[in-house]
Amino acid sequence: MKDKLILMALSIMLLTSIHSLAQERIHAVEFGMGGSAFNHTRTVLSDFHQTPGGDYVFKLEEKLLYGGTDFYAAYELNPWLFIDAHGTLGFARYHDSGSLKQGFSILAGPGLQIRPALGNEWVQPYFRIGANYYHKNFPTAFWGSFEGDVTREGIWKAEDSWNKGSTFDTDTYFPLSAGLGLIGWISNRVGIRIEGNYLRSIGSKGANFAQGTAGLVLRLGGNDKHSSYEKPVTIENVVEREVVKEVVKEVPVETVREVYKEIPADRTLSSLMDNVTFDFDKAELTEGSKAVLDEVAGIIAMFPEDRFLISGHTDARGSETYNEQLSTDRARAVFDALVERGIPESRLCYRGFGKKTAVVPGSEADEIRRGDRKVVLERITWDPLWQYLKNNQ
């Protein structure tokens, strides 16, 4: 009953993990191949005979290790959780009817990997649990009768460290596995994987054993591991930086120096100003708009050489004359708010454009027309235009 509950819990975890594949992100896919060693006791009795003196002689061998080839695939569900599949073909020699033969085993099954975040994507340790199918065609008996025993009373029995007190030899069963692994990435796409698992049979049938694996891993997709050395780009960044080469010529020496010019993020300012709106037939700033203008003033202050036009707009309701005055009042309200927040008047001017740019008909609901009741912030770089705006404000 306990083993069935464990198997059920593992199945639920696998289904839950597969469901998360629908998440939108860049997923990594890993493929690998390597060598594997099984610590699986194989007890073999051979060459049983009776000497001329009447003594019984036999050869008893206990072999612990045999090897194989391991195939591996894994899929990234999220940065700390992977689903994988193992397939291992093992090869072991055994005695049968006095002759040495070559046997094989098959171990395959899915698993989950939990990879803790260490801040370094080049070395990835993980904990793994899995469910497996195991089949072999060679004996691993822990008891038996002596071949050729004329008395038919002699019985031998052997135990190993993994299976104390067990006397069975089952060829096919379903063990659960748990273990630890480590992937060290040689490059962005190629790595070395080392993994060790302990496999325990479900129920009373089947032997318990250990498996160790090492091999190469090929990684497709996923995030660029080189980016772990770079400073992450966040939404808080409000400026871009460009390098301008300025050449200063002197005779006979020519000197080159780099001048860093800060460029304001106009899209960031535009996005913020989208949140500065007005109630119908009003030119007063709302409390929410005042908080937005605090942030706008902070960005403008970072670029003391830039000049900005504040343009006021209304929705489609009302006359041309009335709306032009209302839009001017709204632009002036933003102008005054920025000056109060430390922006010099010489860097700002304002104009009202009424309902000339309204895109929503006056018959629509107020919530829709709210988008036309706005103030737009525009950076002015052309000197003649700036002088005209200031002279005609």
**pLDDT tens series, the chain, 393 aa:** 556 566 666 666 655 554 444 344 578 999 999 999 998 877 766 666 777 876 777 777 777 789 999 999 999 998 899 999 999 999 998 777 667 888 999 999 999 999 987 767 789 999 999 999 999 998 777 666 666 666 666 677 766 667 766 666 788 999 999 999 999 999 989 999 999 999 998 876 788 889 999 999 999 988 777 665 444 444 344 444 555 555 555 555 555 555 444 544 555 777 788 888 777 788 888 888 888 888 888 888 888 888 989 999 888 888 888 988 988 998 999 999 999 999 998 999 998 888 888 888 888 888 888 888 888 888 888 888 888 888 887
Q: Are residues 376 and 274 in the same domain?
A: yes
CATH classification at residue 334: 3.30.1330.60
Spatial CB neighbours of 231, under 8 Å, sequence gap ≥ 6: none
Distance CA 268, CA 159 (A): 73
Q: Are residues 196 and 94 in the same domain?
A: yes
Q: Is residue 160 part of a domain?
A: yes
If one counts every other C-beta atom within 10 angstroms of the C-beta of residue 248, the result is: 9
pLDDT given for residue 232 in this prediction: 45
Considering 167, 201, 229, which residue would you say is the last residue of a domain? 229
Distance CA 22, CA 6 (A): 26
Q: Are residues 180 and 45 in the same domain?
A: yes
Cα distances from 248 to residues 9, 241, 245, 259, 348, in angstroms, run: 73, 22, 10, 12, 34
Q: Is residue 240 part of a domain?
A: no
Instruction: Please give the sequence-ordered ranges of beta strands (E in DSSP) within 250-289, or none if there are none.
Output: 254-264
Predicted TM-score (pTM) of the model is: 0.49
Q: Is residue 312 part of a domain?
A: yes
SS3 244: strand
Q: Are the C-beta atoms of residues 270 and 310 closer than 8 Å to each other?
A: no
Q: Is residue 243 part of a domain?
A: no
Q: Are residues 213 and 279 in the same domain?
A: no
Q: Are residues 152 and 283 in the same domain?
A: no
Q: Is residue 238 part of a domain?
A: no
Q: Are residues 225 and 132 in the same domain?
A: yes
Distance CA 283, CA 325 (A): 10
CATH classification at residue 209: 2.40.160.20
Helix (H) or strand (E) holding 273: helix 266-273
Q: Are residues 316 and 193 in the same domain?
A: no
Distance CA 150, CA 232 (A): 80
Q: Is residue 258 part of a domain?
A: no
Q: Are residues 272 and 216 in the same domain?
A: no
SS3 165: coil
pLDDT given for residue 8 in this prediction: 66
Distance CA 326, CA 161 (A): 89
Determine the structural domain holding residue 308 and report its residue range. 265-391
Q: Are residues 166 and 302 in the same domain?
A: no
pLDDT given for residue 229 in this prediction: 47
Cα distances from 191 to residues 114, 215, 311, in angstroms, run: 18, 9, 57
pLDDT given for residue 91 in this prediction: 93
Considering 184, 202, 229, which residue would you say is the last residue of a domain? 229
Considering 173, 201, 229, which residue would you say is the last residue of a domain? 229
Q: Is residue 74 part of a domain?
A: yes
Distance CA 32, CA 166 (A): 35
Q: Are residues 143 and 225 in the same domain?
A: yes
Q: Are the C-beta atoms of residues 111 and 89 closer than 8 Å to each other?
A: no
The residue whose two tokens read 């089952």 is: 170
Total domains in the chain come to 2
Q: Are residues 217 and 300 in the same domain?
A: no
Q: Is residue 279 part of a domain?
A: yes
Q: Are residues 272 and 208 in the same domain?
A: no
